[in-house]
Amino acid sequence: MSVGKSITNLRMKIARPKRRKTTWPVAIEQRRTGILFVLVPMLLFLVFAVGPTFFAAYLSFTQFKFTKPPTWVGLRNFQILLDNQVFKTALRNTVMFTVGVVPTSMALSLFVALLLNQKIRGIFLFRTAYYLPVITSTVASAVVWMWMFTPDVGILNRMLGLLGLPRYRWLLDTRTALPSVMLMSVWGSLGYRMIIWLAALQGIPTHLYEAAEIDGAGTWRKFWSITLPLLKPTTFFIFVTAVIGSFQVFGSVYVMTQGGPGYATTTMVHQIYLNAFTYLKMGYGAAMAFILFMIIFTLSMINWFFLRSDVEYW
């Protein structure tokens, strides 16, 4: 063996640390510790998530009003739902809410994130201000927005009056009630999605922008050729979670309009709440919840299979 090879082997032995052999008792103890750490959250998930889901699925095939044991009725609850015009209205309102809120919220939050992705003094104050609605109670936010939407003394109508524009009965008109709730929801979700966009923007390597500037690319070109393609994983995540959250909207509707005027703002979760906990039709409400679960599950799977293939990870 040559001297050069001997020196190389010696260096490799010095650089490569020896692996400690794990004895069987230690390995078993480590496995038990890992199982114990995982066991507690798994039990909580089974008890508070999986268990209630299967129980609600069972209740959807029964007639249950708390006072008596559940009575099996088969597909009767689902047959009633198919003929219920209120449920169809709630489903349509939920779809309209999702179609209106999700793209608007994603676009505005990305725009705000781009503005806040600057290294200037005091930028954290602006980031905090945009994130405050996320940590604010939904009830408190809804009450403030109700005051803003008040026809007589609301700030929105006062601003319209100063501009010489007609005033609106925001939450009291069937044409403007749902868009008003959508506006409040876009405002409330802006900060959360802005933070996710901002984290993704700060993870993009700066040398890509520097190379593009050398090639003469402008701001718009850098956004379309570098920023937007590298944001695909974040876009996929925000889109899926936003769709799921929009189909489950309840708090703002319950506080601001109670589903009115008429049924202009009633949603699927609002109808589930009314039938299950106000009218005590637990089986009927569980059937609505089961249909909502299937809709969300189907949409999530469609997004996963068709959009995930286009996601690029850097």
pLDDT tens digits, one per residue of 105-163: 999 999 999 999 988 888 889 899 999 999 999 999 999 999 999 998 899 999 998 88
Of 23-37, 45-59, 300-314, highest mean pLDDT: 45-59
> How confident is the model over 208-264, as pLDDT tens digits?
888 988 888 888 898 998 899 899 889 999 999 999 999 999 999 999 999 989 899
Binned at pLDDT 50, 70 and 90, residue 27 comes out as: low
User: What DSSP character marks residue 261?
Assistant: S
Residue 202 resides in a domain: yes
Phi, psi angles (nearest 5°) of residue 71:
-115, 125
Binned at pLDDT 50, 70 and 90, residue 295 comes out as: very high
pLDDT of 28: 67
Q: For residues 40 and 164, what is the distance between their CA atoms, to the nearest angstrom?
A: 61
What's the number of domains the chain is made of? 1
Residue 66 resides in a domain: no
User: What DSSP character marks residue 48?
Assistant: I
Output the average pLDDT for the chain. Answer: 86
Q: Any idea which residue has 């999986």 for tokens?
A: 50
Residue 303 CB neighbour total at 10 angstroms: 15
| Contact (CB, 8 A) for 312 and 229 | yes
Residue 3 resides in a domain: no
Residue 186 resides in a domain: yes
| Planar angle of CA 293, 296, 301, nearest 5 degrees | 120
Phi, psi angles (nearest 5°) of residue 75:
-90, 15
Q: 111 is written with which tokens?
A: 């725009």
| Contact (CB, 8 A) for 165 and 199 | no
pLDDT of 169: 92
Residue 58 resides in a domain: no
pLDDT of 149: 94
Q: For residues 116 and 81, what is the distance between their CA atoms, to the nearest angstrom?
A: 47
pLDDT greater at residue 314 or residue 279: 279
pLDDT of 23: 56
Binned at pLDDT 50, 70 and 90, residue 193 comes out as: very high
Among the residue ranges 7-21, 211-225, 248-262, 278-292, the one predicted with the least confidence is: 7-21
Q: For residues 270 and 259, what is the distance between their CA atoms, to the nearest angstrom?
A: 7
Q: 157 burial class (0-12, 13-18, 19+ CB within 10 angstroms)?
A: buried
pLDDT greater at residue 10 or residue 256: 256
pLDDT of 1: 46
Residue 304 resides in a domain: yes
pLDDT of 218: 86
Q: For residues 120 and 224, what is the distance between their CA atoms, to the nearest angstrom?
A: 24
Q: For residues 74 and 65, what is the distance between their CA atoms, to the nearest angstrom?
A: 16
CATH number for the domain including 242?
Answer: 1.10.3720.10
Residue 207 resides in a domain: yes
Binned at pLDDT 50, 70 and 90, residue 99 comes out as: very high
Residue 246 resides in a domain: yes
pLDDT of 119: 83
**Residue 235 is part of which domain span?**
77-310
pLDDT of 66: 77
Does residue 26 surpass a pLDDT of 60? no
The strand pairing partners of 62, in sequence order, are: 72
The 3-class SS string of 197-236 reads: HHHHHHCCCHHHHHHHHHCCCCHHHHHHHHHHHHCHHHHH
